[in-house]
Structure 1
Amino acid sequence: MHLPACRAMDSLPRTRAASYGDGTGKQKPHVLVVPYPAQGHLLPLLDLVVLLAGRGLALTVAVTPGNVRLLAALPPSVATVVLPFPSGPFLPAGCGENTKDLPADLFRPFMASLVALSAPLLAWCKAQPRPVTSIVSDLFMGWTRPLADELGVTHVAFSPTSVHYLAFTRSLWRRMPTGHDEDGDERVVSFPELPGSPNIPWRRLSWLFRMHVVGDEVSETIRQILLWSLESSCFVVNSFAALEGGCFTDALAANRVFMVGPLSEAADVRGGEEEPAEVCAWLDAFGDGSVVYISFGSQEALSPAQAACVAEALRLSPTAAFVWVARSGTVVPEGFEAATASRGRVIRRWAPQLDILRHRAVGWTLTHCGSNSVMESIAAGVGMLTWPMAADQFTNAWLLAETGVAVPVAEGADTVPDVGKVATAISTAVASKEGESTSRRVVELGRKAAAAVAVGGTSYNDLEELVCALSDVHVASSCSVE
């Protein structure tokens, strides 16, 4: 597949300059970072940028104008190249530049359209007085790999989720199993090449894969994007060894895998738009581990029936206090907030999730199992009640259950679970020996996460090796260190 020419770009890329010297007259290696503009992808990669900048690398982050404000927390040493958002046949004029601003039916065309950024980005790279020496890009921006090949530099693919998901994804897009048979969504897909030969129901596979149509331009573009990334010799993953074990890393033996997470714990730079002190002061009134935090991420809005289920389950769980982040579009039943005001709080804007999870009163979270939420919950030692809905969330929920730090409650974006089951799960979590046992396990896993990113830990050491690889063109070409 050939990269398409850029269509109707508004202007040439704009650059925020940064110094690429190290104070001794020498020029630093120059790493170009290309994030995917979705909160769950972009935020952990920016955390990685902060860590790399702190270790002396010169970095430039490539974004479109609508995403520039999301880079505000980056150090001033990090440069920015602003690429005009592409127009083309897949997207309507004036659509958003981040998936949080798009309806779900535009996610796939959006991903395919971003390939058109390759031409202006390549032109920018060739015009730089300090050549780009390596490219780190999100898994969904795999079109940067042939760009790296043309420049003769190394390419590293960043995955915001687990090694497990990476292994499953590579197998799927290489083999392309189909689900169009008499069993429909009940069909089971086997993965004989992976440890334990797992079998996964078709309905739990990523919607990105399940919606693939052979011969369709958007579908085939997405497949090529992912294959480019999945064939990279190096992966950087927002996970850590104590969570994953070694078997799935061994399944990717042909590739160097740097597990550098939890990145939120290592970088520790994010904040919310709401003053953390306001929420934390409210949480101070509750006992240790007695509060359930409810959030389904920036992309998932609960249907009225699902929101009513969550509200009723909380009403039926009087021993649990709660903080519920209700994304725009989620309709909280009338009268619910007044009826639960003594022990509950509903937040309808961006919440300081890290601060909430780290508060001593929060012991559990009802979560969609998005990768960032999973890593942040583990790092905070918070148990999880899981309701995966899409993408990598099913794999994350399975991995958490296997590790013993989560309790399955429901699954599926359209599912309306049994109210009694959800209420029982919440009550059991905060007020039973079974809940205490799970809490102890996740607290211990949280300690291991902290140890992983501390000096000498597994993630710290992988990050140091990554820095060495990105600092040495010869070494980086094979992504190994002496």
Structure 2
Amino acid sequence: MDAPAQACQSTGRGDGDGDGKPHVLVVPFPAQGHMLPLLDLAALLAARGLALTVAVTTGNVAHLARLLVACPSIATVTLPFPSSSGLLPAGCGENTEELPGHLIRPFIASLAALRAPLLSWGKAQRRRVTAVVSDMFTGWTQPLAAELGVPHVTFSPSGALYLAVSSSLWRNLPKRRCLDDADEVVSFPDVPGSPSFPWCHLSWLFRQYVAGDEVSETIRQIFLWNLESSCFVVNSCTAIEAAYVERPLPDLMAKQVLTVGPLSDAVGSRTDRGGKPAVAPASVAAWLDAFGDGSVLYISFGTQLALSPVHAARLADALALIQAPFVWAVRSGTAVPDGFDEATASRGMVIRGWAPQVDILRHRAVGWFLTHCGWNSAIEAIASGVAMLTWSMAADQFTNACLLAETGVAVPVAEGAYTVPDAGQIAGAIASAMGKHGKPMRDRAVELGRSTAAAVAEGGSSFSDLEKLTRILNQG
């Protein structure tokens, strides 16, 4: 099942001169929302003088291009994708952007086969690996780190609340009392505030767990391995999640949780984070310049999700009803109704492909963000001082939406990938938020944006936790 160790390819200083200095192995999970923040963290660690090697499969090398240009000291180790695992069809792709939803679970499990060749690579280095930092979906690196005799750090691209809830799920395996009740409430008494969520809002990775099934058990073991890490690092800050990081979380085994976000702010990255934008940032800015402060609604459902035709049609109908100016970033595969662009051209911009999201959110004209609540999008909006209208679909998005509402910067518009909301209800919720009713929330968003900027500045909470992480990794 394992890729042959001799097929691993190293570039840069990963096979250095054995000088005994710290050398950190970074293992991202190949999904855009996971890779971007971890690569931002790698850039920050490299800037602090750490030697790093990033491990990727052959098909994901291109995703490192921006990092390697900005940080030429960072090395890479390239491994063949474990296509012989038997869990995936041949030629299915090496990044979740290339996968249909039903293959993501076996994809996560298949990557565990990289452990053996990566371990062989690590043992062969003259500059030995002194620590491993890995994504929460690559927890199979924890026993790898143990075999190398070095600390392991789990990185969560989501917030601390989701980290605690998901860890609790996999450790405790709560059972449903009624298999037909998707709204059955699951409580988490050991998480601060004792949150509870309906079954249908829990992680789909967990909801599809079947005891004894190879994929299910591999995924559970990945999360259980994470609990053995030396510490946890999240792309968040205490201004957003103080309650979930300032006291030990039982399901994280009382380990330290370090907040180092918002990472995009700390790095100072802009439109080149995810690729070449479909529209030049200057063109979008020029279009937005025509509108008043806070009057424009930005809409995006992330890089992983294409809205169904019926959802896209309902959203288009709602936008026609409210008459507010908007920018709609449309993922490939989303069917915007025919004629919609032309009918709304005087007050709307539809971007098909990658949008310069951070630049859009930072423009003075943008006051609200209709979002699926993927954490990268949410924290970019928070850092930009933009309030949110939430339409959670899957994964961590329901937990994130709950946190954002609790923080006072978001209000729900709809929820679920399978429910079909009424266009009038969507329009009413948007119009209410963008009117006088939403002003306190907008003010709170601006205040929180200032707090997150202070967190990543020198002396701030995230800056200080990044310094702590650097010391941990330097000690090896």
TM-score range, shorter chain: over 0.9
How many Å separate the matches in 1 of 2:313 and 2:454?
Answer: 40
Separation in 2 of the partners of 1:303 and 1:78? Answer: 40
Contact 2:16 2:127 in 1 (8 A): no
| Alpha carbons of structure 1 residues 463 and 348: separation in structure 2 relative to 1, 3 Å | same
Task: Write the mapping of 1:201-240 to structure 2, written as runs, cut at 5 A.
Answer: 201-240=198-237
- In the other structure, the counterpart of 1:102 is 99
In the superposition, the TM-score normalised over structure 1's length comes to 0.93
* 1:299 aligned partner: 304
Aligned to 1:385: 389
3-state secondary structure, aligned to 1:93: coil
- How far does residue 247 in structure 1 lie from its aligned partner after superposition? 4.5
Q: Distance in 1 between matches of 2:197 and 2:227?
A: 20
Structure 2: runs of 5 or more not aligned = none
How do residues 391-410 of structure 1 correspond to structure 2 at under 5 angstroms? 391-410=395-414
Other-structure match for 1:479 = none
Give the whole-Å Cα distance in 1 for the aligned partners of 2:167 and 2:35: 21
- Percent identity between the two aligned chains: 64
Aligned: 1:116 with 2:109: no
- Contact 2:160–2:244 (CA under 8 A) maintained in structure 1: no
CA drift at 1:230: 2.6
Q: Would the aligned equivalents of 2:248 and 2:255 in 1 still touch at CA under 8 Å?
A: no
Determine if the alignment matches structure 1 residue 349 to structure 2 residue 349: no
Q: Secondary structure at the match of 1:195?
A: coil
2:225, 2:164 → 1: CA distance? 15
CA contact (8 A) 1:293 1:365 kept: yes
Deviation at 1:417, TM superposition (A): 1.2
Is contact 2:237-2:260 (8 Å) kept? yes
Alignment partner of 1:458 is 2:461: yes
The reply to whether residue 367 of structure 1 matches residue 363 of structure 2 is no
| 2:182 aligned residue | 185
Per-residue deviation, 1:178: 2.0
SS at match of 1:116: helix
Q: Counterpart in 1 of 2:59? A: 66
Structure 2 letter corresponding to 1:16: T
Q: Is the 8 A contact 1:20 1:30 kept in 2?
A: no
2:260 match: 260
1:196 Cα offset (Å): 2.9
How far off its partner does 1:194 sit? 2.0
User: Which of 289, 293, 298 does residue 294 from structure 2 map onto?
Assistant: 289
Inter-partner Cα distance in structure 2 for 1:68 and 1:195: 40
Q: C-alpha displacement at 1:407, in angstroms?
A: 0.8
Post-superposition offset of 1:366? 0.5
8 Å Cα contact 2:303-2:331 kept in structure 1: yes
Q: 1:34 aligns with which of 27, 43, 52?
A: 27
By how many angstroms is 1:169 displaced? 1.0
Q: 1:356 to 1:65 in 2, by over 3 A?
A: same
Q: 1:425 aligns with which of 426, 429, 439?
A: 429
Q: 1:138 aligns with which of 118, 123, 135?
A: 135
Structure 1: 5+ residue runs without aligned partners? Answer: 474-482
Measured in 1, the distance between the counterparts of 2:300 and 2:173 equals: 33
Residues 29 and 50 (structure 1 numbering): CA distance in 2 closer, same or farther, change over 3 Å?
same
RMSD over aligned CA atoms reads 1.7
Is the Cα–Cα contact under 8 Å of residues 135 and 156 in structure 1 kept in the other structure? yes
2 CA distance for matches of 1:108 and 1:21?
A: 36
Q: Distance in 1 between matches of 2:292 and 2:20?
A: 54
Q: CA shift at 1:276, angstroms?
A: 1.4
Q: CA deviation at 1:17?
A: 1.3
By how many angstroms is 1:28 displaced? 3.2
| TM-score computed with the length of structure 2 as normaliser | 0.94
Q: Does 1:82 align with 2:85?
A: no
Count, aligned residues: 464
